[in-house]
């Protein structure tokens, strides 16, 4: 059985709606609400055949204390922590539970959170629209799971036995901020795998309780984040927030760039993006110039990047990549395959399109001469990979070395 643990402070109507959606879209679960000092106290809503229990705290004990109370009270062998401003979608529980066969902590993608779980989904205005978007996401990504170092705690699932092994959430991180990251790092330290279930989409309003508490003068959110960040930096290292992505790259490989990093920052790389709001290491528009010297870079990673480069800028960008790579330097690219499947064309932000033969213009002498292209790569590997669970979505994975 699944035990869904929901910490609550006020937001009575939103919480009731959150619970109603859980009851509609979840099989064989119990719901445990931890009322963290709501005024008036949260009352048990109608849940039909779904069992619900409420643990009442007379004051706000904070998120870590609340979830620990819920975990201790849970009768299920699988725990799902869920914010009360989340709305789940059909099959969400099955997707998360299935992923726990291979991973110890898993979470969905969403419209609002920090880090790699945030995705850009189609616009929806009601539950029917949300469910359609979630169904499309499930069709596109199937059972694909992306391994990461940590998850954001708006929704995360794990077996109760994991808590018996690594301990409960750190209650010193009041009222919350970073406790789920700490929990994940402890699991990683113990040898467990953590993953994002790419085909599971859950809506998250985001920061609603914090906003109300700050408005009422109960806390200073920025100050709490600074305090908790300092605590976790001392425990897990200064850049712990930037290490969500897992990469086989090592700093020993030399100078490495991650182009168009968005929120997928890679450890050991200089993460580059043209949007300051995603907090890259370097903000720049590489369609104008890559700000590094000739022959200075060992490795360049570009995942879901080249398809966002305007068609009239593609040759220039490829020549820039080639220019900054050392002789024999490696360029790794992943792009939606425009020849097989629908992935290349379904996203309106894709403005250039890649097929296997596209790489001839940067590797074959005859094709390069057609347009006087300077970039010269030896293609070491080119592979068309189907997204798990969806025979219509393919990506081209290319490994190329700079010839100079």
Helix (H) or strand (E) holding 333: strand 325-336
Task: Find how far residue 44's CA is from the centre of its chain.
Answer: 33
Tokens found for residue 148 = 């990461």
Per-residue pLDDT of the chain (404 residues; tens, 9 = 90+): 999 999 999 889 999 999 999 999 999 999 999 999 899 999 988 888 899 999 999 988 888 999 999 999 999 999 999 999 999 999 999 999 999 999 999 999 998 887 778 776 778 889 999 999 999 889 888 888 989 999 999 999 999 999 999 999 999 876 667 899 999 999 999 999 999 999 999 999 976 655 555 566 666 666 777 788 888 888 888 778 777 877 544 444 689 999 999 878 898 899 999 999 989 999 999 999 999 999 999 999 999 999 999 999 999 999 999 999 999 999 999 999 998 767 788 788 899 999 999 999 999 888 999 999 999 998 877 877 776 545 567 888 898 999 99
Domain boundaries, the chain: 2-242, 251-402
Helix (H) or strand (E) holding 233: helix 221-236
Distances from the Cα of 360 to the Cα of 326, 339, 387, 402, 403, angstroms: 21, 15, 24, 14, 14
pLDDT at 214: 59
pLDDT at 180: 94
3-state secondary structure of 383: strand
pLDDT at 218: 61
CATH 3.40.30.10 at 251-402, yes or no: no
Q: Which fold has domain 2-242?
A: Spore Coat Polysaccharide Biosynthesis Protein SpsA; Chain A (3.90.550)
Is residue 218 within 8 Å of 102, Cβ to Cβ? no
**At 155, phi and psi to the nearest 5?**
-160, 115
Of the candidates 169, 167, 188, which has an alpha carbon nearest to the alpha carbon of residue 236? 188
Alpha helices in 53-194 (DSSP H): 63-73, 92-99, 127-141, 160-166, 179-189
220 Cβ contact partners less than 8 Å away, ≥ 6 residues apart: 214
- Which residues on neighbouring strands pair with residue 82, listed in sequence order? 155
Tokens found for residue 354 = 């890649």
Instruction: Classify 299 in phi/psi space as left (phi over 0), alpha (psi -120 to 50) or beta.
Output: beta
- From first CA to last CA, the distance across the chain in angstroms is 60
- Could you check whether 2-242 and 251-402 share the same CATH topology? no
- The pTM assigned to this predicted structure is 0.64
**At 64, phi and psi to the nearest 5?**
-60, -40
Strands of 111-250, DSSP E: 145-148, 155-159, 194-204
DSSP 8-class letter at 156: E
Distances from the Cα of 66 to the Cα of 136, 146, 168, 328, 383, angstroms: 34, 28, 11, 54, 47
Cα dihedral 96, 101, 102, 103 sign? positive
Strands of 261-320, DSSP E: 270-273, 282-283, 297-303
401 Cβ contact partners less than 8 Å away, ≥ 6 residues apart: 328, 329, 330, 331, 377, 378, 380
319 Cβ contact partners less than 8 Å away, ≥ 6 residues apart: 373, 374, 375
pLDDT at 209: 56
């Amino acid at each position: 059985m699944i035990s869904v643990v929901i910490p609550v402070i006020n937001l009575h109507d939103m919480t009731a709606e959150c619970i109603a959606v859980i009851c509609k879209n979840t099989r064989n679960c119990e719901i445990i609400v931890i009322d963290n000092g709501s005024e008036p106290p949260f009352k048990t809503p109608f849940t039909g055949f779904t069992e619900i229990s409420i643990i009442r705290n007379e004051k706000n004990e904070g998120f870590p204390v609340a979830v620990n109370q819920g975990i201790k009270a849970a009768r299920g062998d699988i725990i799902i922590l869920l914010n009360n401003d989340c709305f789940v979608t059909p099959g969400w529980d099955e997707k998360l539970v299935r992923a726990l066969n291979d991973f110890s902590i898993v979470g969905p993608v969403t419209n609002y959170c920090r880090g790699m779980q945030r995705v850009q989904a189609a616009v929806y205005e009601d539950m029917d629209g949300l469910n359609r978007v979630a169904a499309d996401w499930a069709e596109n990504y199937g059972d694909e799971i992306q391994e990461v170092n940590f998850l954001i705690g708006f929704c995360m699932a794990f077996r109760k036995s994991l808590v018996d092994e690594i301990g409960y959430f750190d209650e010193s991180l009041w009222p919350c901020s970073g406790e789920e990251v700490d929990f994940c790092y402890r699991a990683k330290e113990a040898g467990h795998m953590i993953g994002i279930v790419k085909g599971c989409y859950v809506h998250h309003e985001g920061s609603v309780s914090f906003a109300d508490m700050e408005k009422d003068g109960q806390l200073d959110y920025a100050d709490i984040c600074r305090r908790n960040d300092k605590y976790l930096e001392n425990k897990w290292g200064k850049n712990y927030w930037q290490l969500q992505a897992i990469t086989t790259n090592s700093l020993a490989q030399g100078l490495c760039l991650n182009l168009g990093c968005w929120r997928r920052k890679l450890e050991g790389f200089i993460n580059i993006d043209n949007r300051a709001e995603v907090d890259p290491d370097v903000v720049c528009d590489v369609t104008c110039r890559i700000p590094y010297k000739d022959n200075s870079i060992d490795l360049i990673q570009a995942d879901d990047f080249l398809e966002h480069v305007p068609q009239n800028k593609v040759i220039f960008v490829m020549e820039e990549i080639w220019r900054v790579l050392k002789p024999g330097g490696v360029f790794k690219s992943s792009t939606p395959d425009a020849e097989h499947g629908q992935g290349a064309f379904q996203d309106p932000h894709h403005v250039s399109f890649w097929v296997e033969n596209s790489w001839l213009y940067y590797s074959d002498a005859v094709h390069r001469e057609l347009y006087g292209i300077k970039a010269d790569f030896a293609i070491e590997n080119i592979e068309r990979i189907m997204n798990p669970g969806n025979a219509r979505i393919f990506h081209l994975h290319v490994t190329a070395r700079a010839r100079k």
